[in-house]
Amino acid sequence: MIRPARLDRDRDALLAVQRAGYAVEAELIGVELLPPQHHTIDDLRAESVWVAEDDHGEITGILGVEHGPELVISRLVVRPDRMQRGIGRALAEHALALAGGSPVRVGTAAANIPALTLYRALGFEPVVHKTVGDGIPYVELRHPGEA
């Protein structure tokens, strides 16, 4: 089930999933830490945050989006012990639904092959390649929305 996050009530679970999930990505791309591993609930307040829950009400994934001319997926993270079970796909599809047929943008490290594979499978295309932080190759992707 995907539902809007209740930032104050879900605080501990949100931070735990975020830190653990981004730790996996940091290891995958060969860096010690990623900025989202240090984010607080206040950082999430700038986004529209959604959570995926299992049948027991445990948070298994987080989607953060920013609304503008294009919807931007600002965070998409899955609890490590629940990766490769379709949760990331469900959250990304939820972002596409929230966009209502308008374009959607997302970015990830170029070495994050699982994320790139997911986004490409959903119709996202790379539009920008750049370097961020301490020399991390980064890819921005865009889904065109419905014509």
**Residue 58 phi, psi dihedral angles, 5° rounding:** -85, 140
Measure the CA–CA gap between 120 and 125, rounded to whole angstroms.
6
pLDDT higher for 42 or 96? 96
* Structure tokens given for 31: 């860096």
* Average pLDDT of span 83-92: 93
Give the position of tokens 């600002």.
74
Measure the CA–CA gap between 5 and 15, rounded to whole angstroms.
12
> Which pLDDT band holds residue 91 (cuts at 50, 70, 90)?
very high
The predicted-structure confidence for 130-144, as pLDDT tens digits, reads as follows 988 778 899 999 999
Domain that holds residue 22: 2-143
Q: Which helix (H) or strand (E) holds 15?
A: helix 11-29
Average pLDDT of every residue of the chain: 90
* Average pLDDT of span 62-84: 93
| Number of compact structural domains in the chain | 1
Secondary structure in 3-state letters for 78-147: ECHHHCCCCHHHHHHHHHHHHHCCCCEEEEEECCCHHHHHHHHHCCCEEEEEEEECCCEEEEEEEECCCC
The predicted-structure confidence for 1-42, as pLDDT tens digits, reads as follows 999 999 999 999 999 999 888 888 888 787 776 767 777 788
- The domain that holds 128 is classified in CATH as 3.40.630.30
pLDDT higher for 50 or 35? 50
Q: Write down the pTM of the prediction.
A: 0.90
